Structure 1
């Protein structure tokens, strides 16, 4: 894995595609970026409203953060987590 120009980081990375209730895009984005596991967030046009980059010790850590933190943000309707390949 390449992270900040370095090979072999011990962190796992995932991206979470999020659908939100209409009108709650900004508040969900703000809430997501306040979470320690979220390192980047962007609003989207298209099938999803928001994408967030999540980092954790392993994919289990990322899954826990998605289920316990991201999905509990008011306005979140649906999430889809994409795990980055570690090669």
Structure 2
């Protein structure tokens, strides 16, 4: 038996993709810049526990962004289901 993939019309995906490009990407880039500043601050202050937590948070931001990029129709639902309602 051949595996059939569901084909979605481009028009159906266009709006979620455009929203992702206009909203999610700039938001995630801003968030990652804040993580970077915090990581540098915690490194300078030798606050290792906070540094570790900031690395974890930055990784989660990247993971959720990748999930949304792979499935743009998820939109903000992906963030909320991962406890990342920002």
TM over 0.5: no
Which is greater in Rg? 2
Identify the structure with the greater strand proportion. 1
Q: TM-score, normalised by structure 2?
A: 0.27
Identify the structure with the greater helix proportion. 2
